[in-house]
Structure 1
């Protein structure tokens, strides 16, 4: 059952789940009590976390091959989700994880050494077994971000609205030049909070303009970040 839940999220089926959602960000501490299917939200290896007290390790370099295009952008009421054609791949732990979608949170869900950022992106990947790997990147206020600017032109204004791009956009320019990262085990940050997710947080901080951040927060109308969860003995490694 856990794998089925993970597959559903990874393969872009979150829209229906969000549309029927019986949860919101006003009751994050109650998610695990809302339904039996959300019981994992009360478990011990949950995300997001505060990344600190890390352990240095010889982590394998991340291998991204994002030969794919953005096809659609949708507003599901909890976030803006961007969906792709096939072709984007992350090689992690000797396995191929295909890029399925990415979405945004403001303020950031994870923190780095106690610091929260105004915007965080989660790039969701799945391998052939339906296991998930999420790559996170932080944005701080600064220069306008060209990739975000191209996407923001197509932001769906209404909950449930989906914009299909007439000219699909490349995502090759989204990744940072510096591929150093933090690594930890965690969960989905929204119900059903399924665990076993391989988390990768990029160290390089991106920038987004004040206006770009405001566009997203105004569109959401509310913070869409889950509070920090306890580590419960988990180890965070970095290269």
Structure 2
């Protein structure tokens, strides 16, 4: 299949490589760009560091990495955990790719009342902080990065959607924000019909909900919110 990868870099290129290995033709054209906010992480003693994205690790400065080198680190998934280890962070624990599991891992490891620092994104979700605070943990969120939307539909995508028949078969959606932005940019470019006709592969039900709000149906929703589960839909030929 000819598949549009709309997720931000650096993940977009990596996903494109995986699609080629599976025999597909990727069009890597992100609609969001991840930018560090420049936020200085707060002072104080913390019992653990929460990392819910690889972007959080990338946003850490050399001084941050040195400061937290021996602190227990709770990473949402395998890729975030691996990047944290390569950044020199120690005692990294992996939750398996899901914010609820990350919250459970923290509760099983540290006592209630522990102070936690969450290196978060500007569009972050309520979990795992909400359930941890409800369980008595003191969670401080530092907004270290933000996803900035592109102003227009990537030219290669606009051209592909304008072709007759369309030169794309499917699109991979990795986040609610990415799906909303892709739909909005397609509408602004007068490509809504072609965009809606694509097979929409979604990382989670939350991502699929963004399409549903625009009147679009998800072709496939991953059983778990990770890339392996998402690409499994392509492997299965669904």
Q: Which TM-score band (shorter chain)?
A: under 0.3
More helix by share: 2
Taking structure 2 as the reference length, the TM-score comes to 0.24
Q: Whose relative contact order is higher, 1 or 2, with alpha carbons under 8 Å and at least 6 apart?
A: 1
More strand by share: 1
